[in-house]
Amino acid sequence: MGLALLLLAALACPGYAAEPPAILSAAALAGLMRQASYSDGFEARMDITTAKPGGQRTAPVKLAVIGQFGAERQRLLIRGISPDKVRNHFFAAEKGIDGRIRSVEYGEHIPGIKEADPFAKVFDTGLVIWDMLVPWWNWPKQSLGGTEQIAGRYCFIVHSQAGADASPMRKAVSCVDRDAGISLRTQLFDGRRTPVRTISVTQTVGKESGMMAAKELSVTDADNSTTWAEIYGGDEHYSIAADTFAALDSLPVAGK
């Protein structure tokens, strides 16, 4: 689980484990995390606050995230709600079965639709579109690195290694709570094995499936800037309109 499952609808549940769960293979855990992210449609409303390296906090940002995640394609639409400078500013992104990510931005104060960098920060926060599409669970090499406890919950350390693509992110180290279907902490590294950022889930909510999703999380960058995100509303069974992701059709298709 990455930022993609920022939903929804139940009471906070700590889910502490009394003893370590049975060990699964790294490939099985990666498959579990992919399955946990699948959804015909969801929406989440988020409050975002960011503190710069010196400690100065930026103005809070509210945004909505709409998603549709399947085995062959994952799509996101991010809409700025407030303050005024981000209101009705949109980002849309999708990841296909080949792992390639396409993203665009558009809005009231943007002429037309333009391509967006999926590795750029959204609205000057610590949120990154690439992270929200959790591509590392599809990477070709997954390996185990033992177990750990975070806030009393056992999790498996999974090392995910990128393939031959040109992604600047080359490694992810996740602490997976197998029973909850969530990564309690994910560390991302570049090609030099330098840590880039860490995503930590600090509060969870239950889903109808029995799995968990993030209610609150933090993103800490290498420069020590930190973003806190709180999910304050949403819909686990959001109805995706036919034109929700229409802006993505403006991008050229590879090979054509």
Of 113-117, 215-219, 252-256, the one with minimum mean pLDDT is 252-256
Residue 26: both structure tokens together: 């790294």
pLDDT for 24: 82
* Residue 19: pLDDT over 70: no
Instruction: Supply the mean pLDDT for the chain.
Output: 87
**What is the CATH class of 3-250?**
mainly beta
Tell me, what's the pLDDT at 253? 61
Residue 202: how many other CB atoms lie within 10 Å:
16
Picking from 74, 71, 80, the residue whose alpha carbon sits closest to that of residue 107 is: 80
- Between 59 and 9, the more confident residue is 59
Is omega for the bond preceding 111 within 30 degrees of 0, making it cis?
no
Residue-wise pLDDT for 47-102, tens only, equals: 999 999 888 898 999 999 999 999 999 999 999 999 999 999 999 999 998 888 99
Q: How many residues does the chain have?
A: 256
Task: Note the pLDDT tens digit of each residue in 178-200.
Answer: 888 889 999 999 999 999 999 99
What tokens does 223 get?
């420069």
- In single-letter form, the type of residue at position 244 comes to T
Structure tokens at 208: 């109808």
pLDDT, tens digit (0-9, with 9 covering 90-100), for 125-182: 999 999 999 999 999 999 999 999 998 888 999 999 998 777 899 999 999 998 888 8
Q: Which helix (H) or strand (E) holds 216?
A: strand 212-221
Look at residue 42 and tell me whether its pLDDT is greater than 80.
yes
Helix, strand or coil, per DSSP, at residue 29? helix
DSSP conformational letter for 27: H
Measured distance CA(37)–CA(203) in Å, rounded: 18
Please give the Cα distance from 254 to 180 (Å, whole number). Answer: 37
Higher confidence at residue 228 or residue 5?
A: 228
Q: What is the pLDDT of residue 209?
A: 73
Residue boundaries of the structural domains of the chain: 3-250
For the record, the structure tokens of 50 come out as 């960011």
